Structure 1
């Protein structure tokens, strides 16, 4: 499948995401269009949802009982209190009804505390289990999660036009420098240096680099780990050709940097960062 698909691959973006799609088909995973997966499920377990519903109902009943104890005798409050004491020997007209209400309120508060403790206990157990499993597969990601909590980004998305304009002003505008005498000395010393030969990237070079990295090292934007790149040998020739094309672009062209895919020019942004200025959000790879 990859051999046929890669014949029409034009850049690294198509090659990378094509390999990721192949992985999803091999392992039977669903392809998500909502962006990169975080590795953590946001669905609330059914048992926790049931307990939270019990807590909400108990808190609502406590509020009605307190209102009735304070003298609020509206039909809605009275009906709720009668339903709470249904099938019991407690009557709303008896003398010690205030004491019965207080006892019932305290009982509900203790139940709420027990339910919350149960949620906390199960959550801590689930966290320990996930951390132990992550330690076996990806220790680096585990240590990163311990250093800073995962916070969903709520700020505005960066503007691509502002980002391109910011870096074009740094890389494309000619600047006249006033060099000192030392520049001429360095230039004369470097005149006899033989220029470096053009960079030649072969499929063997790509395979050697892929073999030297960890299988489950942090993946890129496509979520594809190196474990799969080691097995997709047919990708190595395409990757070598595309990396060579990127590395041989002329430095004199103003679009040598900005002509690259935007995803290739940026690094990950901490999700807790509030500043969305282009200089804080994107950092391109160096030319050297």
Structure 2
């Protein structure tokens, strides 16, 4: 179902900013067992309702530029706010000053089947079989107990690779410190739901902290890596290609490391919340909720 707040605000004609940080139409139609034509129609209906409702109630704050077009074309106020982190958390963060960090791999996102947790296990198994001297750490972040059990069962089924371990989750402000010892970040999202359109938050974190990115070649993820980071993306079934990428980065020479760190320095000029999204959201809020006007007697207009 669509967010209840949007439906309620539409019925009551309340003034609301609709925060659209998911590709809801893609997500919901992925749950429908129906022919492609029906799914396409359903997706358009969801999109059209969101735009129509948003124009009636106020405006939208969307996560990506591509999502803003329909709102703009309909004359609905809109702001764009990617999930950039706050600059403050990264001000004092530095890269680990040793070559060994490229033998340490991390995955900071949710562990679930849509986010490629089984592929990560397969990757760890193959790296161990090949004798690669790398360690893969996964932040313990499961969406539910069912996915956690699937993960544990699959790790046991694959022989519990010794190069794979779970580490505690940390708050967002601690992510830079967590990433400091690592040189490679994983993002293994699969071709499902909205994943071809989404840029996982962990990609911003990896890019800002100078990690090479290894992952699946989802459309938006690929575009992000090409613009903001150094990495190698492969098909989600290409575990050998992903293992090759980790191996090559683990043996990175100084010239490539310099390129990775230069990309991180450039990312720090573009990917902070403070440098764009914050001001755009403030503009939208001022447009939807203008400051109260008072007459000379102090009465609110």
TM-score, with length taken from structure 1? 0.21
Greater percentage in strand: 2
**Which is higher, the Rg of structure 1 or of structure 2?**
1
Q: Which has the higher helix share?
A: 1
TM-score by length of 2: 0.20
Q: Which has the higher contact order (CA 8 A, sep 6+)?
A: 1
